[in-house]
Amino acid sequence: MLTDFAMYTALGIALGAMGGLFGIGGGLIAIPVLGLWFGLDQQIAQGTALVMSVPNVFLALYRYHQRNKIDLRQALPLVLMSFCFAWLGAMLAVGVDARVIRWGFIAFLLAITLYNLIKLYRLPVKPVARSGRGWPWFGVLGAVAGTTGGLFGVGGAVVAAPVLTSVFGTSQVVAQGLSLALAAPSTAVTLLTYAVHDEVNWIMGLPMAVGGLLSISWGVRLAHALPERMLRGLYCAFLLLCAGLLAIKA
């Protein structure tokens, strides 16, 4: 039992550092790892990853806000719409076959990776600290990201970050901070929905959460130290790794 706790905590430390680096709380990489190495089906893997993600997202959000103040006028519509629509996505997820969800998640990751790669190699646009787009557009993004995050158990940050950089014109670090603001309430309501439907392994998830809380600040510091282009390139490689691990399990 103690050995298992130590193993899950160590896993949480590794995943938490990556979550802080990419502004996603660590759940995205946790899902394929839990499915491939521990044999969990897709819904339980997503629910268990959320146990780690929820506290990690809130801590990462705090750290990002310390280093780069998050604009509440941008964050609030993202947060409110994401919170409402995450519940809808989570309710859809718990009623769908695990294999369908897994392949849908793989396709989703590949699409996000392709989008990021196109954005990485096209003519650069000077990033801004605050987007000129109005709050209704942030609300629309929050609704889409919340639904997707609830469906796949990743909080919606993976959707929001590339859209914020390419469509809204923010820097990668600003986008990741806003994405964490969006993800914080949506991951919480998604976890609650999965837990009510008994799609969570708490014995694994709680020590992973402890490990993630110990390491996520390291990733946040590294994210602010890396060059913009390198951070985006690493993000693409990270998404491809997650898709590849899921495909092996599928």
Domain range annotation of the chain = 2-249
Give kind and range of the element (H or E) at residue 206. helix 202-225
Q: What is the pLDDT of residues 21-55, one digit of tens each?
A: 876 667 777 888 888 888 888 889 989 999 998 88
Separation CA 150–CA 90 (nearest Å)? 4
Give CA 61 to chain center in angstroms: 12
Separation CA 174–CA 182 (nearest Å)? 12
Q: Cα angle vertex 11, ends 10, 15, to 5°?
A: 120
Torsion of CA 18, 21, 27, 29, to 10 degrees: -50
Torsion of CA 13, 183, 177, 115, to 10 degrees: 100
- The answer to whether the pTM exceeds 0.85 is no
What burial letters (b/e) apply to 104-135, b meaning 16+ CB within 10 Å? ebbebbbebbebbeebbeeeeeebeeebeeee
Nearest to 22 by CA among 138, 183, 186, 143: 183
Give CA 40 to chain center in angstroms: 19
Give CA 173 to chain center in angstroms: 14
Q: How do the pLDDT tens digits run along the chain, 250 residues long?
A: 678 899 999 999 998 888 788 766 677 778 888 888 888 888 899 899 999 988 888 888 888 888 778 888 888 888 888 888 888 888 887 777 777 877 887 888 888 888 878 877 765 555 554 555 666 888 899 898 888 878 876 657 777 888 888 788 787 788 888 888 888 888 888 899 889 999 999 999 999 999 988 988 888 888 888 887 888 888 888 888 888 877 876 6
